[in-house]
């Protein structure tokens, strides 16, 4: 809550590379229009000096692109608030009370460490499967406890975010949300999906290129090596390999994925802190076993 205890204190983190001259102003306008909260905003220029930043909004200029998760970590360290809202710079909050309603969800269960709204395309209203943080994604309007998140539009309780070590900055891109969610669950927390709060985001393809496949595969290995009890690692990675072989028929995509898989095994995953078996059991009961 804010200093007077009346309104939630939210720190919002927005990354930019100055590559969305139309979307970024719309995102910032919707963010700064939020009501019912104490809002502190920082824009992080990931390898650039941020352009088109509204008056009164602080900026952090990074001399090089450090990747999305590390950029968000830096942003989180530069905003105030008991809650941190991570916001893609091509998203829009269509309602002025969106952040207030998200913040209220934390009060309904003290175990909630993160709350994700429903993300929908502004034109079609469609919610992509990858935006629904559970395996059964056919009903994106169904609320409930979740074990993963869509990293680009999510609110996190600062206290547990910092206790868990924040985003895995060295991942650069892909799967950092699973890593953080697992570590939050291992601290006894849960996540919540609040589809009644809608955020607009264009339903674009994230770009299937060699770097996508390589980083996706590398980070899958790192995710397992960092977080899973040793007996589960081969099951997790075998399941990932089978899914990869089934999905990717393009030889170039398979080669890039195999290169990323090998890169992940060579190291660089960071400190290994395997989750407790009780956390594994909780994830299974929540419908998302870590394999």
CA dist 53 and 27 (Å) reads: 11
Residues 82 and 145 placed together within one structural domain of the fold: yes
Strand pairing partners for 87? 14, 153
Residue 52 carries which DSSP code?
Answer: S
Total structural domains within the chain: 2
Final residue of a domain: which of 200, 231, 260?
200
What is the domain extent for residue 259? 210-285
Residue 50 makes CB contacts below 8 A (sequence gap 6+) with 16, 18, 43, 44, 59, 61
Q: What is the number of other CB atoms lying within 10 angstroms of the CB of residue 140?
A: 18
Residues 221 and 194 placed together within one structural domain of the fold: no
In which residue ranges of the chain is pLDDT below 70?
1-5, 205-208
Give the β-pairing of 144-146 and 190-200. antiparallel
Q: Taking a C-beta distance cutoff of 8 angstroms, is the pair 70, 135 a contact?
A: no
Query: What per-residue confidence (pLDDT) applies to 138?
Result: 86
Could you tell me if residue 93 is inside a domain? yes
Q: What is the number of other CB atoms lying within 10 angstroms of the CB of residue 277?
A: 11
Residue 242 makes CB contacts below 8 A (sequence gap 6+) with none
Residues 193 and 222 placed together within one structural domain of the fold: no
Residues 48 and 157 placed together within one structural domain of the fold: yes
Q: Residue 63 burial (CB < 10 Å; 0-12/13-18/19+)?
A: exposed
Query: What per-residue confidence (pLDDT) applies to 3?
Result: 46
Residues 131 and 248 placed together within one structural domain of the fold: no
Q: Residue 116 burial (CB < 10 Å; 0-12/13-18/19+)?
A: buried
Q: Taking a C-beta distance cutoff of 8 angstroms, is the pair 203, 128 a contact?
A: yes
Query: What per-residue confidence (pLDDT) applies to 243?
Result: 86
Could you tell me if residue 1 is inside a domain? no
- Taking the alpha carbons at both ends of the chain, their separation in whole angstroms is 37
Give the β-pairing of 83-87 and 38-46. unpaired
Residues 142 and 272 placed together within one structural domain of the fold: no
pTM for the structure as a whole: 0.95
The first and second tokens of residue 175, run together, are: 């799967």
Residues 90 and 179 placed together within one structural domain of the fold: yes
Residues 108 and 193 placed together within one structural domain of the fold: yes
Residues 195 and 216 placed together within one structural domain of the fold: no
Could you tell me if residue 170 is inside a domain? yes
For residue 226, give the nearest of 160, 173, 182 by alpha carbon: 182
Query: What per-residue confidence (pLDDT) applies to 227?
Result: 98
Residues 158 and 281 placed together within one structural domain of the fold: no
Query: What per-residue confidence (pLDDT) applies to 245?
Result: 80
Domain CATH number, residue 165:
3.90.550.10
Residues 156 and 239 placed together within one structural domain of the fold: no
Could you tell me if residue 4 is inside a domain? no
Final residue of a domain: which of 153, 177, 200?
200
């Amino acid at each position: 809550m804010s200093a007077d205890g009346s309104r939630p204190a939210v720190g919002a983190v927005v990354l930019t590379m100055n590559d969305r001259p139309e979307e970024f102003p719309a995102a910032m306008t919707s963010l700064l229009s939020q009501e019912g909260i104490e809002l502190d905003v920082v824009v992080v220029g990931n390898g650039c000096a941020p352009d088109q930043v509204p008056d009164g909004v602080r900026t952090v200029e990074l001399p090089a692109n450090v990747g999305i998760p590390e950029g968000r970590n830096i942003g989180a360290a530069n905003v105030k608030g008991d809650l941190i809202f991570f916001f893609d710079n091509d998203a829009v909050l269509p309602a002025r009370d969106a952040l207030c309603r998200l913040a209220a969800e934390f009060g309904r269960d003290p175990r909630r460490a993160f709350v994700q709204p429903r993300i929908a395309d502004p034109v079609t209203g469609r919610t992509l499967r990858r935006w629904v943080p559970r395996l059964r994604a056919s009903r994106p309007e169904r609320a409930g406890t979740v074990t993963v998140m869509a990293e680009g539009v999510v609110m996190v309780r600062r206290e547990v975010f910092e206790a868990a070590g924040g985003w895995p900055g060295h991942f650069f891109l892909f799967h950092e949300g699973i890593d953080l969610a697992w570590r939050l669950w291992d601290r006894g927390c849960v996540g919540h999906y609040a589809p009644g709060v809608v955020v607009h985001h264009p339903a674009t393809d994230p770009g299937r290129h060699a770097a996508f496949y390589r980083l996706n595969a590398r980070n899958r290995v790192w995710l397992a090596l960092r977080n899973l009890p040793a007996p589960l690692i081969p099951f997790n990675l075998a399941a990932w390999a089978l899914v990869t072989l089934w999905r990717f028929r393009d030889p170039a995509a398979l080669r890039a994925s195999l290169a990323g898989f090998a890169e992940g095994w060579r190291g660089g995953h960071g400190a290994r802190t395997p989750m407790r078996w009780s956390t594994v059991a909780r994830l299974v009961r929540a419908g998302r076993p870590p394999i």
